[in-house]
Amino acid sequence: MKKPSRTLSVLGFAALIVTACTGGSSGPTVPTTPNPNPNPQPIPTPTPPITFVGAGDIADCTTTESGTNAETTARLIDRMSDAVVFTAGDNAYFNGTAAEFNNCYGPRWGRFRGRTYPAPGNHEYQISAMPYFDYFGDRAGPRGAGYYSYDLGTWHMIALNSNIPMGDGSEQMLWLKRDLDQMHARELATGAKCSLAYWHHPLFTSGPSAGSNAIALPVWRTLYAYGVDVVVNGHDHFYERFDAMDPTGRPDTPAGIKEYIAGTGGAIELYNFGPLLHTSLNHLQAYGVLRFTLRDTGWDSVFIQSNPELMFDLSTGNLCH
């Protein structure tokens, strides 16, 4: 399947080019050797790498063991004082109540709340998602919506909510397309090219929820059409990394999305794998956190297992589209 091209109207594209060429950037310019381009673009100043770390399915205090698991994964993040933290849903078990956020999530991953960008899971919606929004406040995006975006260096990050409608025509999808249009305008104006989206329910998985999360298919199609590079999910309690795929799950090395599942934050009972999807590159049944090193043109990733503490599945040199 040929990937849809990233297109803007001719006038819009021209306007962006004019803006980029006349915006008076103070960055270093192309060396003064002869150049056939009379209006050379500035050479972007590289931004320092950013550490982005997290998991889904986290704070479960229904047993002593499960509370310990979340504390153990939190201690991995304690060592990354400059890291930006994400959650991929099911932050507080079992019903996402205020007491569970305050007494279970709070003493563990809650110590990173000021640098956390969360996404909600189905356990936040067991009774009411309002304690989730109360706990995270502005960090969770608009109250009741739970989808939002932000930039980390040159990367554009998108947090989505797979517990509310996210299909074609939904408010969330309409917002997503507007956000991706703005992302493209930013790419043309600044040269930024990398993007990552995360939510709870995975479209592709080799675990027990395989085939049951079709709600995410329209989102995948849209992210693919706009050239998003990475998707991160939780829900299935294990770690799995996939090769680049199109929305049908077929390999697509030049243009596909690379998906990670990290439902490994501490929730009791790790899940078994079923038949591995043909695009599955690596997998592990363990608690831990998924750490990205975000660079201007790509990323490295590694899964850090918590007990025993081991680095697993180091993947380096991934390039953005």
The answer to whether domain 49-319 has CATH 3.60.21.10 is: yes
CB 156 within 8 A of CB 195: yes
Neighbours of 102 (CB within 10 A): 15
223-264 per-position pLDDT tens digit: 999 999 999 999 999 999 999 999 999 999 999 999 999 999
Place 44 in a pLDDT band, splitting at 50, 70 and 90: low
Place of tokens 């090769």: 243
Residue 46, pLDDT score: 79
Q: What is the phi/psi pair of residue 179, to 5°?
A: -65, -40
Neighbours of 188 (CB within 10 A): 18
Place of tokens 């079992």: 94
Q: How far is CA 187 from CA 150, 156, 257, 276, in A?
A: 14, 10, 18, 36
Q: What is the mean pLDDT of the chain?
A: 89
Range with the poorest average pLDDT among 27-31, 177-181, 288-292: 27-31
Place 42 in a pLDDT band, splitting at 50, 70 and 90: low
Cis peptide before 94 (omega within 30 of 0): yes
Place 17 in a pLDDT band, splitting at 50, 70 and 90: very low
> Taking CA 135 as the corner, what is the angle to CA 127 and CA 166, rounded to the nearest 5 degrees?
60
pTM of the model: 0.86
More confident residue, 4 or 184: 184
Using DSSP bridges, classify how beta strands 230-233 and 258-262 pair: parallel, antiparallel or unpaired: parallel
Place of tokens 């390039």: 319
Q: Is the pLDDT of residue 36 over 70?
A: no
Residue 22, pLDDT score: 39
Q: Is the pLDDT of residue 150 over 70?
A: yes
d(CA 267, CA 178): 35
56-80 per-position pLDDT tens digit: 999 999 877 767 999 999 999 999 9
Q: Is the pLDDT of residue 29 over 60?
A: no
Q: Would you kindly state where each structural domain of the chain is located, as residue ranges? A: 8-31+38-43, 49-319
Query: Which residues, 6 or more positions from 202, have their beta carbon under 8 angstroms from its beta carbon?
Result: 209, 213, 216, 233, 234, 235, 236, 259, 261
Place of tokens 């980390």: 152
d(CA 184, CA 9): 12
Q: Is the pLDDT of residue 195 over 70?
A: yes
Which residues lie across from 290 on neighbouring strands?
54, 303
Q: Could you give the percent of the chain with pLDDT greater than 90?
A: 83
Q: Could you give the percent of the chain with pLDDT greater than 70?
A: 86
3-class DSSP state of 86: strand
